[in-house]
Amino acid sequence: MRIDLHTHSTASDGTATPAELVAAAAAAGLDVVAVTDHDTTAGWAEAAAALPGGLTLVRGAELSCRWHGVDPPISLHLLAYLFDPADATLAAELARLREGRERRAEAMVDLLRADGIDVTWDEVRGYAAGGTVGRPHLAHALIARKLVGTVSEAFASQWLGRRYRIPKPDIDVFRAVELVRAAGGVPVFAHPRASVRGRIVPDSLIVELAAAGLAGLEADHEDHTPEQREHVRALAVELGLLVTGSSDFHGTNKTVKLGAHTTAPQEYQRIVHAARGVAPVSG
C-alpha cells in the first residue's frame, strides 16, 4: 500500500485541479491519497467524483495556525483528516481564514503596486482560477513580468518571502485541535521540525498539544532532514502519537513528486479508526 496524506490542488495553491490530482495519484501508483488544501474543503467533491478505480480518497485540509506561547507567535500548519465539513463552528472558522487570505493577497498586490510593480488584483485572482488566492498566484504575476523566473525565486526575501509579505490569518493551534476533534476529525501536526520554513516550536508544545487532542505528527516530509525525521518519529513514539509521511505535493509550484514520502498502512488505519466525521471514499 502506498499512502500519501498531504497534497494540494487548485482549490488552494497547487497547480492540478482536484480531478487531475486524483488521476495523477493513481498514475503515480498510490493506493490512498489525501487532498489537504489550505483552509478549504472546496476540492473534496470534484476529487471524489473523479476518483479512479482502486484509489482511496481521504478528505482533509491544512489549517493555518499560530502558537502564542512566544513573542512573536510562531505560525504552524495542522493537517485535519476526515472531519465533518458541515460542522458549523469549524466551517465558519475556515471561511474566516479564507476571507483573511484574500484580503492579505490583495494587500500584497497593493504593496507591489506602491513600488511601481504594475500587478493587478484581477490578474492575480485569475491565476487562482476560483480557488483561494495565495502567494503562488502573486508569483505567477511576477513571472509574467519577467521579474523572476520561478515560483521559488518569487518566494525569496526581496519578493514575496519578506519584502512584500504580509502574515496570513490563522487560528490558535489549541483551538484548531479542539475544533477539528469536535468536528470528528483527526489532527496531525504538519512538518513540525521544518526549520527551513521558519521558526519551529519546542517539543514541550507538542507534549501539550498531544494532551489537548493532537493525534499525530508528520515525520517524513521534504522539508525535514533525516535527523529531523528521526527526532519527530521518536517524539511520536514517546507520546503515543501516530506518524505520517507525505509529499505535500503542490503540482508544478514545487518540485516534490506525489508519493515522494508515504505513510505506513497501520498509521493510516489509526487515522481512519479515530475519525468520526466522514469516511474515506473508494474509487
Q: Which residues bind Zn ion (CB under 5 A)?
A: 62, 77, 190, 248
Query: In this complex, which beta carbon is closest to Zn ion, that of residue 119 or of residue 132?
Result: 132
Closest CA to 83 of 242, 279, 241: 279
Q: Which segments of 115-172 does DSSP mark as H helices, in order?
A: 121-128, 135-144, 151-154
Residue 95: enclosing H or E segment and its boundaries? helix 88-114
Query: In this complex, which beta carbon is closest to Zn ion, that of residue 119 or of residue 194?
Result: 194
Shortest CB 220 distance to Zn ion, Å: 14
Query: In this complex, which beta carbon is closest to Zn ion, that of residue 62 or of residue 220?
Result: 62
SS3 call for 258? coil
Instruction: Give the C-alpha separation, 209 to 211, whole Å.
Output: 5
Cell for 183? 468536528
Shortest CB 114 distance to Zn ion, Å: 29
Grid-cell match 514575496, residue found: 160
Q: Which segments of 28-87 does DSSP mark as H helices, in order?
A: 44-49
Say which amino acid occupies 69. G
The backbone torsions φ and ψ at residue 279, rounded to the nearest 5 degrees and listed phi first, read -95, 160
Query: In this complex, which beta carbon is closest to Zn ion, that of residue 87 or of residue 248?
Result: 248
Query: In this complex, which beta carbon is closest to Zn ion, that of residue 119 or of residue 261?
Result: 261
Residue number of the CB closest to Zn ion reads 77
Shortest CB 38 distance to Zn ion, Å: 7
Asked if 208 and 202 touch (Cβ cutoff 8 Å), the reply is no
Please tell me what DSSP assigns to residue 93.
Answer: H
Shortest CB 168 distance to Zn ion, Å: 11
Asked if 180 and 187 touch (Cβ cutoff 8 Å), the reply is yes
Say which amino acid occupies 26. A
Shortest CB 190 distance to Zn ion, Å: 5
Shortest CB 78 distance to Zn ion, Å: 9
Query: In this complex, which beta carbon is closest to Zn ion, that of residue 80 or of residue 90?
Result: 80
